[in-house]
Structure 1
Amino acid sequence: MSRIYDCADETARKDGIADAASAVRRGELVVLPTDTVYGIGTDAFSPAAVANLLATKGRGRDMPPPVLVGSMRAATALIEDLGNHGRDLMEEFWPGPLTLVCTATPSLSWDLGDTKGTVAVRMPMDPVALELLKEVGPMAVSSANKSGLPAATRMEEALEQLGDEDVAVYLDGGEADSPVASTIVDLTYAVPRVLRSGAISIEQLRAVCGTVIGELRQGRMKPVREDEVAKAGEAAKASRRAASRSEAPAAAGTGGADPAQASGDGASEGTASGSGAAAAGADTEAAPGGDRTTGGGTAAGQDGRTPETGQLPDGDRSEN
């Protein structure tokens, strides 16, 4: 049976944070308020506890939870490389609704799931959350909802979805001040990239970093596999060769006009090239707000891996 504490009452808040801290140290789950939506969290350094968190939400290892910290110092201990702008972003927006995806310190003895060597870190601006985090250290914290359902902005909503069997302690901090989730920024590339738009706008980010690549809108472009791009390219080449053979006399008589253009294959080649850029992670249409970029060499790795780095939230887009 879960224990619930009303953090509006000073005595209950003190008792609740002490109980929640003990529960986290035992590898149990707690629900806590943040400055965005409610979170469900546990000890980030307990693989069994993190596995229990994912199971309670109905998630797999392919969707690892972010890590909340109580100080910038705690965050830097988890991160191997902050990139060119990480510290500036922390100083400007922390504590606050900004999650930074960075390369994790490789020596850490934890297992958050399939992170591909990264960690998503945030310092929330909530007094209850900060007090608990400073007591127990970094916590793996995901939004307090079943995967695919709306994020909880009140403790009662979290309790309704998660129940009172899997969660040891609920800390009730009242209704969330802002139901908007944190902005997620990937710093593992030379140019920061928005993986999810949220409470911090891209204009605010650019005021600190200069160039920031906007979020790729989901659903506006059908993902294209590399094998499809290769087939399209081969088809275009074959068509050009055929056109070249059949129209060779005409080409000679017209000063060597491009047979691909004469046969309309220029459009096919352009489509294949554009698809290749999309498959490589090019941001052809950015996040709301009118941001548009051209090309993906700065944001998408040339090794073919996508910029999501294993840290994107699930379809409910409700990570805090």
Structure 2
Amino acid sequence: MSTSATLSDAARALKRGEAVIFPTDTVYGLGVSVRDAAGPDVLYHVKERDRGKPIAWLVASLADLDRYGVDVPDLARCLAARYWPGPLTLIVRASDAVPESFRSAAGTIGLRMPDNACARALIDEVGCPLATTSANLSGHASPCSFAAIDPELAARVSLALPDPAGDQTKSGLASTVLTCTPTPHIIREGTITKADIAALEK
């Protein structure tokens, strides 16, 4: 697997609607441009993922919570202000700016702003969010380093982008996932705990 790919190479591939592997703050991600890909199907195919599991978007700013979400509760805004960028995915009702192919069956979308300079620069250069899942075959461990990316998975995508800053900052722990519709509750607990969230609810 080549380590020579650049951010510009990755952005060009994403703008062609192709899937790429790139770094985030938690693990390496597998993603597509939500504007240029027809939908998330390529991610399900490459990863061999259950199509019943929605794929969250990585976004570039706090403003994206209201751009791609609708009827966003105050708690979600408070949590985003406190923990974005960071390992928190907020599931909200999808706005009209979210193509139907990317919405869950319930009409929701998961949004997260990653605490990784390379990931955010890639989002900025592509010009839209990236629908992203962890860069592993389903049932296999998520890679915390470029060297740990499965060559079989890497062979199925256009390119894999190493983190220019190195991999020492990868937490290896998936983001906390909180659904905000209709009643907030944790779907998956990660670095941000139930107690952390409860503290902001008071």
Instruction: Summarize the Cα distance change of 1:70–1:57 in structure 2 as closer, same or farther, 3 Å threshold.
Output: same
* Residue number in structure 1 paired with 2:90: 100
1:133 aligned to 2:136?
A: no
Measured after TM superposition, the shift of residue 156 of structure 1 is 2.2
Aligned positions of 1:72-151 closer than 5 A: 72-106=62-96, 108-112=98-102, 114-136=104-126, 137-151=128-142
Determine if contact 1:29/1:49 at 8 Å carries over to the other structure: no
Measured at CA, do residues 74 and 113 of structure 1 come closer, stay the same or move farther in structure 2, by a change above 3 Å?
Answer: closer
Cα distance in 2 for partners of 1:19, 1:47 equals 17
Answer 1 or 2: which has greater helix percent: 1
User: Secondary structure of the equivalent of 2:67?
Assistant: helix
> 1:129 offset after TM fit, Å?
0.4
Q: CA deviation at 1:38?
A: 0.8
3-state SS in 2 of match to 1:177:
coil
Give distance in 2, aligned partners of 1:3 and 1:25.
Answer: 21
Indicate the structure (1 or 2) with the bigger Cα radius of gyration: 1
> Partner of 1:154 in structure 2?
145
**Larger relative contact order (Cα-Cα within 8 Å, sequence gap ≥ 6):** 2
Write the deviation string for residues 134-191 of structure 1: whole angstroms up to 9, x where unpaired.
1221010000000111111111222434132x2112111233531111100110124x
1:181 aligns with 2:174: yes
Contact 2:59 2:123 in 1 (8 A): yes
CA distance change for structure 1 residues 20 and 49 in 2, over 3 Å: closer, same or farther?
farther
Which residue of 2 is the match for residue 45 of structure 1?
Answer: 35
Unaligned runs of 5+ in 1: 6-14, 211-320
Conserved 8 A contact 1:44-1:110 = no
**1:56 counterpart = 2:49:** no
Measured at CA, do residues 161 and 206 of structure 1 come closer, stay the same or move farther in structure 2, by a change above 3 Å?
farther
Following superposition, which runs of at least 4 residues in structure 1 exceed 4 angstroms of deviation? none
More strand, by proportion: 2
Q: Specify the alignment match of 2:196 in structure 1.
A: 204
Give CA-to-partner distance per residue, 1:270-311, whole Å, 9 cap, x none: xxxxxxxxxxxxxxxxxxxxxxxxxxxxxxxxxxxxxxxxxx
2:158 aligned partner: 168
CA distance, structure 2, for counterparts of residue 196 and residue 148 of structure 1: 16
Question: How much has 1:132 moved relative to structure 2?
Answer: 0.5
Secondary structure at the counterpart of residue 156 of structure 1: helix
C-alpha contact 2:145 2:170 (8 A) present in aligned 1: no
- Measured in 2, the distance between the counterparts of 1:92 and 1:150 equals 29
Unaligned runs of 5+ in 2: none
In 2, the alpha carbon distance for the partners of 1:3 and 1:49 equals 27
Letter in 2 for 1:187: C
Does structure 2 conserve the Cα–Cα contact (< 8 Å) formed by 1:27 and 1:49?
no
CA deviation digits over 1:45-92, x for unaligned, max 9?
Answer: 345352111100002421121100111123321101211311111100
Please, what TM-score do these two structures have when normalized by structure 1? 0.58
Identity %: 33
Contact 1:101 1:186 in 2 (8 A): yes
SS in 1 for 2:124: helix
TM-score by length of 2: 0.90
